[in-house]
Amino acid sequence: MSDPAPVTMSATLAADDALARRRLAGEQVLSLASGEVGLPVLPVLRERLAAAADRNAYGPVAGSPELRSAAAGYWRRRGLDTDPELVVCGPGSKPLLFALVLAIGGDVVVPVPSWVSYPAQARLAGARVIPVPGRPGEGGVPDPALLRAAVGRARSAGLNPRCVVVTLPDNPTGTVATPATVRELARAARELDLVVVSDEIYCDLVFDPADRAFSPAVFAPERTVVTTGLTKNLALGGWRTGVARLPDSPLGLGLWARLVGAASQIWSSVAAPVQAAAAYAFEEPPEVVAYVAAAKRLHEVVARAVARRFTAAGATLAPVRATCYLYPDFEPLRDRLARVHQVGNGRELAELLAERHGVGLLPGSAFGEDERSLRIRAATSRLYGETDAERSEALSAPDPLRLPWIGACLDHITRTLAHLVSDQSPSSLGALS
Amino acid sequence: MSDPAPVTMSATLAADDALARRRLAGEQVLSLASGEVGLPVLPVLRERLAAAADRNAYGPVAGSPELRSAAAGYWRRRGLDTDPELVVCGPGSKPLLFALVLAIGGDVVVPVPSWVSYPAQARLAGARVIPVPGRPGEGGVPDPALLRAAVGRARSAGLNPRCVVVTLPDNPTGTVATPATVRELARAARELDLVVVSDEIYCDLVFDPADRAFSPAVFAPERTVVTTGLTKNLALGGWRTGVARLPDSPLGLGLWARLVGAASQIWSSVAAPVQAAAAYAFEEPPEVVAYVAAAKRLHEVVARAVARRFTAAGATLAPVRATCYLYPDFEPLRDRLARVHQVGNGRELAELLAERHGVGLLPGSAFGEDERSLRIRAATSRLYGETDAERSEALSAPDPLRLPWIGACLDHITRTLAHLVSDQSPSSLGALS
């Protein structure tokens, strides 16, 4: 390694930090930038963590037998028979994804658009990134035909693509690739001899059961690694725990050893008290199931309400099917945005919304889109309240949109978009609340 | 990245896993392999963790303001003025050390012998490893004269050494480099334009205040990164938390941004409930200070008792000054070990001790010694009991060596060494208890 590794700060975490500073400075800010889920910890999980506060041993690198067994059960209930011995835990699914890139080796195919950290992690690991667009309305999965072409070109050019990352359901688009597309992707991966790394952290947050995501592990079981965690469905991002399910195949066994080796050198094990609580959560007792159902409903109601406002303002948006992300495209407003606001791309649009309106969003370019794109990603998972009391009320409210604090957020968005699409330049409007 | 990264399982964690399996199979085993500290969690820290079980936000990548401020105070009390803004937290000091290698870039100088994970982490990060022996009796710090020569040779050969790792006090030798040596090392690092990464996780476990370790941050403040954690002094390995202190210099500020960038892509943040408890611990209230003092005394009494047994058996050993590690050299017994046991190196010696006597140790080769070396590393930090009750009693006992469970461990070691140095081959002794 003669040059320093290319290091970029996570765009979502950086945007979060910037908004937190502005809030501290007294500004009224609305964070739609990071996908952190602003909901309280389920009480029984708090109790489990507290009860495990005396656990201070490292335990096995791959995770406690209880946690691995519970994670295997979680996948089994979703149709993926899983050997607990092939489960590996990590301090978040993010470190697992990073260690997988190291363990698999070679270069990495990522969908466009896709989560900010896939390419950043690959570069940090010394890999090259091969971006491949998805099919319209089916984010998270590279178009299989384009994948074949891109991998062929990459190999001809001396690159060594060895894995393809998919996100099911998808961040940033909030869409779900169809089973047919996933099946085709799996077939292409097999023909191209690629490992599929399937990030399924949003799999419990599909709004309509008919849109359920199918894992590539169903279609290419011998080569698909699945990752998930408790960050999204149980709002436990700050607890840092994730799990990976490795294929039950010679490839999978070899990869398991390399992944656990990398884990042993990078993080040793996951915080033991967190493992105890996570094991309980992955067993999915009724109160956990009820919490995830309530959270999913809240995500859906609020995401759809925000989506309607984007659409009303003239942005285009694929039907929202899952997660708490919206990915509106302001292309239809390009001329007006340029004329009135001197905005010509997503970055400038995000800057305008942050600086003039206190609304934090990320431009599509953070997710791999062309710099000129007027797409932005809005995460609606932080609109549920500022306190645990407000957030708990949001989780159980019959009509969350009528809660004053959520209503105020929606009004903030409505006002912001109204100004954005008006013909008056912001300078003539004066300071906006 | 055309070839898969070289991945090796952590030798200490692998040895631990193997011993745990043998114990499960009913064998009487004595774990001297990993440096995990077998002591209970201080009750007030358990309570702090439990009280923070409702914290589920990621928080800043670098760590909560409370934790960074507490860590800065910890270093200030040890003579290192520290800006909390230059502190970065991680899920253990191990991930911080890995991310530092990535953030610094280039190739890495490590002392010989040194902790198993420094070279493994460097290779995983794509760096090359430049091993440099320390001075006799002063483990953990490359001999400054040899460092100059090795870096010169490496640069001539096209390598790009950019940092040197030191361990103060040292694992595996249990020794402490003198202030004069540390000062020379710091001067050499400055001349050679190397960043010093100073792993000071054992700094509170020096037995005699006169042997106190001096940080290279005293002598080369502009280029020294210090790491530490709660794993060793408070037995909190399984909680996974560590902190790094970056230099207050242009180099340090640049490195801070790169380290936080790498952290944002690899682990996001440290488990929030753990951060709350760690902040309290780094404030060092009286009960924390008392615990560390009691643990240090216990480490000293037990390590010295085991050291006497190695010396009595004929192994040589540098005076034990810190940590809970012994690094005896069986070189004086080479002929006898070869004749009676067909043992010609440290690996064979460790295998014999594990297989015939149930004693888990690591060979010096795991720490970078020549394969032929008859050095082994013994960690004595797991001899304090099997239950929290026994371990608590060990922590407060006026004479820990008279506790039956510690006495039994010492007897196990005495018997093992007696058989090892006897002239009777093990096969003629039959099964040993």
Asked if B128 is an interface residue toward chain A (Cβ–Cβ < 8 A), one would say yes
Residue pointed to by tokens 């929202």: A320
Binary contact (B268, A107; C-beta < 8 A): no
Asked if B265 is an interface residue toward chain A (Cβ–Cβ < 8 A), one would say yes
Phi/psi at B131 (5° precision):
-85, 135
Question: In terms of CA atoms, which chain A residue is nearest residue B16?
Answer: A60
Within the 283-312 window of chain B, which residues sit less than 8 Å (CB to CB) from chain A? none
Indicate whether B2 pLDDT > 80: no
Kindly indicate whether the ipTM for this predicted assembly is greater than 0.85, answering yes or no: yes
CA distance B182 to B190: 12
Name the residue ranges covered by the structural domains of chain A: 11-40+287-422, 44-284
CA B207 vs CA A311, A409, B213, B289, B394: distances in Å: 69, 59, 11, 15, 17
Asked if A422 is an interface residue toward chain B (Cβ–Cβ < 8 A), one would say no
Residue pointed to by tokens 């682990």: B267
Please give the CATH number for the structural domain made up of A11-40+287-422. 3.90.1150.10
Indicate whether B433 pLDDT > 50: no
Opening angle at CA B370, ends B364 and B375, nearest 5: 30
Q: A16 contacts in B (CB within 8 Å)?
A: 58
Q: Write down the pLDDT at residue A208.
A: 96
Residue pointed to by tokens 């050198």: A265
Q: Which of A94, A117, A239 lies closest to B56 in CB terms? A: A239
Question: In terms of CA atoms, which chain A residue is nearest residue B234?
Answer: A56
Band the pLDDT of B5: cuts 50, 70, 90: low
Indicate whether A13 pLDDT > 80: no
Binary contact (B268, A58; C-beta < 8 A): no
Q: What is the pLDDT of residues A160-183, one digit of tens each?
A: 999 999 999 999 999 999 999 999
Q: Judging by beta carbons within 10 Å of its beta carbon (0-12, 13-18, 19+), is residue B187 exposed, middle or buried?
A: middle
Q: B49 contacts in A (CB within 8 Å)?
A: 49-50, 53, 273
Within the 199-228 window of chain B, which residues sit less than 8 Å (CB to CB) from chain A? none
Indicate whether B369 pLDDT > 70: yes
| B interface test, pick of A268, A280, A392 with most B CB neighbours within 10 Å | A268
Q: B237 contacts in A (CB within 8 Å)?
A: 56-58, 268
| A interface test, pick of B110, B117, B264 with most A CB neighbours within 10 Å | B264
Average pLDDT, chain A: 94
Q: What is the pLDDT of residues B38-90, one digit of tens each?
A: 999 999 999 999 999 999 999 999 999 999 999 999 999 999 999 999 999 99
Indicate whether A432 pLDDT > 60: no
Question: In terms of CA atoms, which chain A residue is nearest residue B260?
Answer: A9
CA distance A94 to A35: 14
Q: What number is the average pLDDT over the span B323-343?
A: 97
Question: In terms of CA atoms, which chain A residue is nearest residue B104?
Answer: A4
Q: B17 contacts in A (CB within 8 Å)?
A: 60-61
The neighbouring-strand residues paired with B260 are none
Q: A117 contacts in B (CB within 8 Å)?
A: 265
CA distance A213 to A211: 6
- A338 vs chain B: nearest CA distance in angstroms? 33
The neighbouring-strand residues paired with A108 are A129, A163
- A274 vs chain B: nearest CA distance in angstroms? 8
Question: In terms of CA atoms, which chain B residue is nearest residue A129?
Answer: B1
Asked if B191 is an interface residue toward chain A (Cβ–Cβ < 8 A), one would say no
Band the pLDDT of B430: cuts 50, 70, 90: very low
Q: What number is the average pLDDT over the span B405-416?
A: 97
Q: Within 13 Å of residue A206, how many CA atoms lie on the same side as its CB? A: 19
Burial state string for A112-142 with b = 16 or more CB within 10 A and e = fewer than 16:
bbbbbbbbbbbbbbbbbbbbbbbbeebbbbb
Q: Give percent above pLDDT 70 in chain B.
A: 96
Q: What number is the average pLDDT over the span A384-389?
A: 95
Q: What is the pLDDT of residues A347-386, one digit of tens each?
A: 999 999 998 999 999 999 999 999 999 999 999 999 999 9
CA B96 vs CA A127, A330, B259, B307: distances in Å: 21, 41, 8, 32
Band the pLDDT of B424: cuts 50, 70, 90: low
Indicate whether B238 pLDDT > 50: yes
Binary contact (A53, B46; C-beta < 8 A): yes
Q: What is the DSSP letter of A331?
A: G
Q: What number is the average pLDDT over the span A382-409?
A: 97
Phi/psi at A110 (5° precision):
-125, 150
- B232 vs chain A: nearest CA distance in angstroms? 11
Binary contact (A103, B57; C-beta < 8 A): no
Asked if B109 is an interface residue toward chain A (Cβ–Cβ < 8 A), one would say no
B392 alpha-carbon distance from chain centroid:
23
Binary contact (B41, A53; C-beta < 8 A): yes
* Element of type H or E holding B129: strand B129-135
Band the pLDDT of A8: cuts 50, 70, 90: confident
Encoded tokens for B1: 């990245």
Residues ≥6 apart with Cβ < 8 Å to A246: A86, A87, A88, A225, A252, A253, A255, A256, A259
Query: Measured in Å, how far apart are chain B's first and last C-alpha atoms?
Result: 51
Are B82 and B129 a contacting pair, CB within 8 Å?
no
Within the 323-382 window of chain B, which residues sit less than 8 Å (CB to CB) from chain A? none
Q: Write down the pLDDT at residue A424.
A: 65
Encoded tokens for B120: 């493994």
Q: What is the pLDDT of residues A280-316, one digit of tens each?
A: 999 999 999 999 999 999 999 999 999 999 999 999 9
Question: In terms of CA atoms, which chain A residue is nearest residue B158?
Answer: A2
Please give the CATH number for the structural domain made up of B54-284. 3.40.640.10
Are A38 and A381 a contacting pair, CB within 8 Å?
yes
Question: In terms of CA atoms, which chain A residue is nearest residue B127?
Answer: A1
Q: A124 contacts in B (CB within 8 Å)?
A: 102, 262, 265-266
Binary contact (A240, B106; C-beta < 8 A): no
Q: What number is the average pLDDT over the span A97-115?
A: 98
Q: Write down the pLDDT at residue B25.
A: 83
- The answer to whether the bond into B113 is cis (omega within 30° of 0) is yes
Q: B47 contacts in A (CB within 8 Å)?
A: 53
Binary contact (B238, A4; C-beta < 8 A): no
Strand stretches in A73-223, DSSP E: 87-90, 107-112, 129-135, 138-142, 161-167, 195-199
Q: Judging by beta carbons within 10 Å of its beta carbon (0-12, 13-18, 19+), is residue B392 exposed, middle or buried?
A: middle
If one counts every other C-beta atom within 10 angstroms of the C-beta of residue B28, the result is 12
- B90 vs chain A: nearest CA distance in angstroms? 9
A333 alpha-carbon distance from chain centroid:
27
| B interface test, pick of A7, A31, A61, A159 with most B CB neighbours within 10 Å | A7
Within the 53-92 window of chain B, which residues sit less than 8 Å (CB to CB) from chain A? 53-61, 91-92
CA distance A325 to A347: 18
CA distance A354 to A358: 4
Q: Write down the pLDDT at residue B3.
A: 56
A423 alpha-carbon distance from chain centroid:
35
Q: Write down the pLDDT at residue A15.
A: 77
Binary contact (B240, A267; C-beta < 8 A): yes
Average pLDDT, chain B: 94
CA distance B345 to A405: 70
Count A/B contacts: CB-CB distance under 8 Å: 240
SS3 A27: coil
B372 alpha-carbon distance from chain centroid:
23
Asked if A124 is an interface residue toward chain B (Cβ–Cβ < 8 A), one would say yes
Binary contact (A1, B127; C-beta < 8 A): yes
| CATH fold of the domain at A44-284 | Aspartate Aminotransferase; domain 2 (3.40.640)
Band the pLDDT of B11: cuts 50, 70, 90: confident
